[in-house]
């Protein structure tokens, strides 16, 4: 009889941990000690501290106004204070809520990432002009014809105001995106407006979130929906956004996730047609591989709160403001699939939020990661203003009102996940790159239907990661480094004639507590069923299935 031993490691990225608020610190030259300590501690890039939407100028203004930073501070001191402020804000809050959908969300995301990894969509082999320059001036872009909308997102926008801070309490001095009235029509024009319908704060005609996604996708992806509000929620601004002593949102009780729950209650009372906003199953909750069917949850939820976001200093609210973010919290009082749809994935933005911030957060909702220096190291970033998922979300004369486009990588992800006409990059293999060079004629980035090369992708050699020398034997198993992934090692062990067997191993791991797990299983029926093994380092209450999971990640070494 053969027994099979299987090890499996999974790394689950938390849907979002909220960060807002900051301990009072006098940033005179003699009191930078606490901030300096923050530099020595790294913080997780898996947090929901979205640095792409940070308004540095407004944040620094708020530091000075609140007495946290001297008005005479040098530019270097201001940047140092800001950097360390963000590093402290980016540390985990230590509070993680139970998520009953986490396992299914992880599995669906792993499937999407696997599909994206193998995606080629008929990508073209590179056919550039080698050795020399292109002759003459390039012809103007020759646009093709869009085949029409391929996919459509149904976006629910709910505007909520606190019990102690209603909307329309902003001043022109607080925000660059000031309107005298942030009424429902304003948000419907900014999010869903057609050409000429969205007017900026200075009377300029701007592009709506809907138009932006249509332009980026070659007219094959669009959004539709309505804005509802303003709806009153029972809590104060501090209840939902106030900081803890550690500088994070007041996550228990209250917190931004409670705002999401209270928004659902208010929406039901107001008669918002939630049933119209459940058309997708983005996490494949029923496991049938169909992402385009109802799942009992609102597909895309945007919550707009009264007041400013803390990423721009918070205005009058200061540390009681919520930091704009994308996250998830499961809330469905009727029960999943019963009655009206519940809430899960959501984004939260402020009353004065610009279209670029809204489009950036919606990009997260569709599966995109950030592309900026997520640890705010100050060493710079290659993407910068070239992508909306980096600093480009703040582009425009009115900051954030005219964001730059998606990066070629982001467009290729959308092409894999949504289809349509996002991009068809020309591919060049690494061994085709020569010292003499190869030239390609590229269409401008906002011409996804152009007739020339839209983007050039160079396939680099497979990355090699050096590991340490095995403690014994010739090999080690390495689980890799990635989010939303499962890795497995399976080996056959012949125990014929044996009465006992023991498994021992050395392990090295670097994990996010409570969210990354490893487990060891055995099968005595050729892999038909598996039994989890446990010891003093395991627990059985980590997942619903009750498997005994080792809280390990990375290397396993088999002693033999």
What pLDDT, on a 0 to 100 scale, did the predictor assign at position 376? 56
Q: Tell me the three-class secondary structure of 67-94, residue by residue.
A: CCCCCCCCHHHHHHHHHHHHHHHCCCCC
| Predicted confidence band of residue 464 (pLDDT cuts 50, 70, 90) | confident
Which residues, including other chains, have CB under 8 Å from residue 212's CB and lie 6 or more apart?
355, 359, 403
Rg (CA), the chain: 26
- Higher pLDDT among residues 396 and 508, named by residue: 396
- Residues 234-282 pLDDT 10s: 999 999 998 765 555 555 567 899 999 999 999 999 999 999 999 999 9
Mean pLDDT for 482-488 is 73
- Residues 289-325 pLDDT 10s: 999 999 999 999 999 999 999 999 999 999 899 999 8
Convert 82-92 to b/e letters by CB count within 10 Å (16 or more is b): bbbbbbbbbbb
47: pLDDT strictly greater than 50: no
23: pLDDT strictly greater than 60: no
Report in angstroms the alpha-carbon separations of 378 from 76, 139, 373: 12, 40, 8
Contact 233, 161 (CB under 8 A): yes
- Higher pLDDT among residues 189 and 519, named by residue: 189
Residue 318 CB-density burial (10 A; 0-12 exposed, 13-18 middle, 19+ buried): buried
Given 243, 361, 402, 484, the catalytic residue: 361
142: pLDDT strictly greater than 50: yes
Q: How far apart are CA 176 and CA 400, in angstroms?
A: 9
Mean pLDDT for 478-484 is 73
Mean pLDDT for 134-140 is 56
Which residues, including other chains, have CB under 8 Å from residue 451's CB and lie 6 or more apart?
141, 142, 143, 144, 443
- Residues 437-455 pLDDT 10s: 888 888 888 777 878 888 8
- Residues 192-243 pLDDT 10s: 999 999 999 999 999 999 999 999 999 999 999 999 999 999 999 999 998 7
What the block records as the tokens of 182 is 């942030």
Three-class SS state of 224: strand
Q: How far apart are CA 320 and CA 237, in angstroms?
A: 6
What pLDDT, on a 0 to 100 scale, did the predictor assign at position 46? 36
Which residues, including other chains, have CB under 8 Å from residue 371's CB and lie 6 or more apart?
52, 381, 383, 387, 389, 390, 407, 409, 410
For the chain, the average pLDDT equals: 79
Q: How far apart are CA 98 and CA 487, in angstroms?
A: 23
Q: Where are the domains of the chain?
A: 151-372
Mean pLDDT for 385-399 is 91
> In the beta sheet, which residues pair with residue 556?
477, 507
Mean pLDDT for 475-493 is 78
Convert 407-429 to b/e letters by CB count within 10 Å (16 or more is b): bbbbbbbbbbbbebbbbbbbbbe
Mean pLDDT for 509-529 is 78
What pLDDT, on a 0 to 100 scale, did the predictor assign at position 34? 28
Angle at 102 between CA 296 and CA 368, to 5 degrees: 85
Count Cα neighbours of 251 within 13 Å in the Cβ-side half-sphere.
Answer: 18
Of the chain, the percentage scoring pLDDT greater than 90 comes to 43
What pLDDT, on a 0 to 100 scale, did the predictor assign at position 555? 34
Mean pLDDT for 404-409 is 94
- Higher pLDDT among residues 149 and 379, named by residue: 149
Range scoring the smallest mean pLDDT among 76-85, 111-120, 213-222, 433-442: 111-120
| Predicted confidence band of residue 141 (pLDDT cuts 50, 70, 90) | low
Neighbours of 41 (CB within 10 A): 10
Contact 256, 325 (CB under 8 A): yes
Give yes or no: 361 in active site. Answer: yes
Report in angstroms the alpha-carbon separations of 467 from 460, 471, 480, 505, 555: 21, 12, 11, 17, 9
Q: How far apart are CA 319 and CA 21, in angstroms?
A: 4
516: pLDDT strictly greater than 80: no
User: Could you write out the DSSP letters of every residue in 476-541?
Assistant: -EE----SSEEEEEEEEEE-TT-S-----EEEE----TTTEEEEEEEESSTTSS-EE---TTEES-
Residue 372 CB-density burial (10 A; 0-12 exposed, 13-18 middle, 19+ buried): buried
- Higher pLDDT among residues 343 and 41, named by residue: 343
Nearest residue to 537 (alpha-carbon basis) of 521, 553, 528, 548? 548
């Amino acid at each position: 009889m053969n027994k099979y031993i299987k090890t499996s490691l999974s790394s689950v990225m938390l849907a979002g941990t909220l960060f807002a608020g900051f301990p009072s610190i006098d940033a005179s030259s003699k009191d930078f000690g606490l901030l300096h300590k923050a530099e020595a501690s790294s913080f997780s890039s898996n947090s929901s501290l979205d640095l792409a939407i940070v308004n540095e100028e407004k944040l620094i203004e708020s530091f000075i106004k609140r007495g946290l930073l001297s008005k005479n501070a040098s530019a270097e001191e201001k940047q140092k204070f800001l950097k360390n402020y963000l590093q402290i804000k980016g540390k985990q809050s230590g509070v993680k809520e139970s998520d009953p959908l986490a396992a299914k969300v992880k599995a669906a995301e792993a499937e999407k990432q696997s599909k994206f990894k193998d995606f080629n969509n008929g990508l073209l082999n590179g056919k550039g002009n080698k050795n020399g320059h292109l002759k003459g001036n390039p012809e103007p872009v020759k646009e093709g014809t869009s085949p029409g909308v391929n996919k459509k997102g149904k976006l629910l926008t709910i505007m909520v105001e606190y019990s102690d801070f209603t909307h329309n309490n902003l001043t022109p001095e607080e925000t660059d995106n000031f309107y005298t009235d942030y009424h429902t029509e304003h948000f419907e024009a900014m999010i869903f407006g057609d050409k000429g319908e969205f007017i900026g704060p200075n009377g300029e005609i701007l592009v709506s979130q809907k138009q932006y996604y249509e332009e980026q996708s070659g007219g094959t992806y669009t959004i539709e929906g309505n804005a509802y509000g303003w709806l009153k929620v029972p809590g104060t601004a501090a209840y939902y956004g106030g900081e803890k002593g550690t500088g994070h949102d007041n996550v228990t009780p209250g917190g931004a996730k409670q705002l999401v729950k209270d928004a659902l209650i208010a929406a039901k009372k107001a008669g918002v047609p939630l049933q119209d906003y459940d058309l997708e199953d983005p996490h494949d909750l029923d496991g049938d591989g169909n992402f385009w069917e109802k799942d009992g949850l609102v597909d895309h939820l945007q919550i707009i709160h009264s007041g400013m976001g803390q990423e721009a200093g918070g205005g009058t609210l200061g540390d009681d403001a919520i930091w704009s973010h994308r996250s998830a919290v499961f809330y469905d009082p009727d029960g999943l699939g019963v009655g009206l749809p519940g809430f899960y994935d959501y984004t939260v933005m402020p009353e004065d939020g610009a279209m670029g911030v809204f489009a950036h957060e919606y990009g997260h909702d569709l599966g995109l990661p950030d592309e900026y220096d997520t640890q705010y190291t100050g060493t710079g970033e290659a993407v910068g203003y070239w992508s909306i998922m980096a600093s480009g979300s703040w582009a425009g004369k009115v900051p954030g009102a005219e964001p730059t486009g998606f990066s070629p990588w982001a467009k290729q992800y959308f092409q894999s996940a949504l289809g349509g006409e996002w991009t068809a990059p020309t591919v060049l293999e690494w061994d085709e790159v020569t010292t003499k060079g190869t030239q390609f004629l590229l269409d401008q980035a906002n011409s996804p239907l152009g007739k020339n090369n839209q983007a050039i992708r160079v396939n680099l050699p497979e990355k090699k990661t050096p590991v340490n020398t095995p403690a014994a034997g010739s090999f080690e198993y390495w689980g890799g480094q990635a989010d939303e992934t499962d890795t497995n090692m399976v080996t056959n062990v012949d125990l014929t004639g044996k009465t006992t067997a023991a498994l021992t191993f050395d392990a090295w791991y670097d994990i996010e507590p409570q969210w990354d797990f490893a487990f060891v299983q055995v099968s005595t029926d050729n892999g038909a069923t598996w039994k989890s093994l446990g010891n003093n380092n395991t627990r059985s209450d980590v997942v619903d299935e009750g498997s005994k999971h080792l809280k390990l990640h990375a290397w396993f070494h088999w002693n033999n």
